[in-house]
Every structure is written in structure tokens, then in C-alpha cells.
């Protein structure tokens, strides 16, 4: 399917969510976001809008999750999957424990979720073979920051943090 003209819902609109939003807009996608912290002026600057979580679930063709661990709270729960548009594509590169994998698998089986891209799992190494081997799931082994470029940026960020304490 083409990305242009589709709606991307980004849950967690920090540094990584914003970078994804810029790329999606460049591809011709409509971007909506939800975050507990609203960045003033970001809507005008980026050409996207903040929405409530229920609206994001209902309107998004693609949903990408970028939140820290929610201390056992499953943001992607049966209730919230039921609110999603039929045929949604779900991506999780944040934390595996934010997703109820049992309900995600059931949604993949029923077609409610068209496909999933997963870089993280509730248990790592992943033990849910039915999920990670599902034909409509694309997995990576928690390597979101494993490129040489990302490691260089992380190193520079750590140096900046340490220097800020001088």
C-alpha cells in the first residue's frame, strides 16, 4: 500500500516521534499525535495536530508507539485495539511491556490489525513464537539504535549530559 494520503498516528511525540513525523509528512502522510506533554507551536511548525488518544486510534491507518514503559499498564490493550480502525498497521519500537501481545496476536488473526512491525517484546529474548513468527509481523531484535550513526549520536548525547554537570 502507498503511504501518501494515509494517516499516521504517533503516540509519544518526543524527539523520536517528531523525527518520524517529519519523515511521514515528507512522504505525503497526514500526521496526528498524542503525548502527555504538548509542545507549544509544534503543530504549526510541523503541519500536524495533537488529538486525544481515542481519536488517534479511530483515524489512523498506521500507529507508531514511542512511549517509555508505563509500569505494567498495557496502552495497547484489547479495549484500545477495538477502538482502532480496521486494517490498521501497528508499529512498536518503544517498550514491549506497553502492548498486550495476546490481544495484538488475536487482532492480527482477525484482520483488525493488518500488520505489525515489532522491535521490542514483553519478554526479551522474545518467547511468543506465535507472534514473532506470524506472517504479517515484521520483527527486528531490539536494534533501534544499533547503527553506527545512532551509536555516534548516543555517545555525543552522553558527553553533552556529562559536560552539563561541570
Residues with a known catalytic role: 95, 124, 142
> How far is the C-alpha of 30 from the C-alpha of 112, rounded, in Å?
21
What's the distance, CA 42 to chain centroid?
A: 19
CA 124 to centroid of chain Cα atoms = 18
Tell the residue number behind the cell numbers 513464537, with chain if given.
129
Residues 119, 139: contact at Cβ < 8 Å? yes
Nearest by Cα to 46 from 61, 33, 59: 33
CA-CA distance, 108 to 134, in Å (whole number)? 8
Amino acid at each position: 500500500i502507498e503511504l501518501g494520503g494515509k494517516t499516521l498516528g504517533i503516540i509519544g511525540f518526543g524527539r523520536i516521534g517528531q523525527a518520524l513525523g517529519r519523515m511521514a509528512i515528507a512522504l505525503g502522510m497526514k500526521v496526528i499525535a498524542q503525548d502527555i506533554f504538548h509542545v507549544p507551536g509544534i503543530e504549526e511548525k510541523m503541519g500536524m495536530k495533537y488529538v486525544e488518544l481515542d481519536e488517534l486510534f479511530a483515524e489512523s491507518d498506521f500507529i507508531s508507539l514511542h512511549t517509555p514503559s508505563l509500569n505494567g499498564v498495557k496502552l495497547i490493550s484489547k479495549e484500545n485495539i477495538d477502538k482502532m480502525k480496521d486494517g490498521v498497521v501497528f508499529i512498536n519500537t518503544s517498550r514491549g511491556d506497553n502492548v498486550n501481545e495476546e490481544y495484538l496476536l488475536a487482532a492480527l488473526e482477525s484482520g483488525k490489525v493488518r500488520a505489525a512491525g515489532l522491535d521490542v517484546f514483553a519478554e526479551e529474548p522474545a518467547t511468543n513464537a506465535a507472534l514473532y513468527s506470524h506472517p504479517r509481523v515484521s520483527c527486528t531484535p531490539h536494534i533501534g539504535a544499533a547503527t553506527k550513526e545512532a551509536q555516534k549520536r548516543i555517545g555525543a548525547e552522553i558527553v553533552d549530559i556529562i559536560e552539563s554537570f561541570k
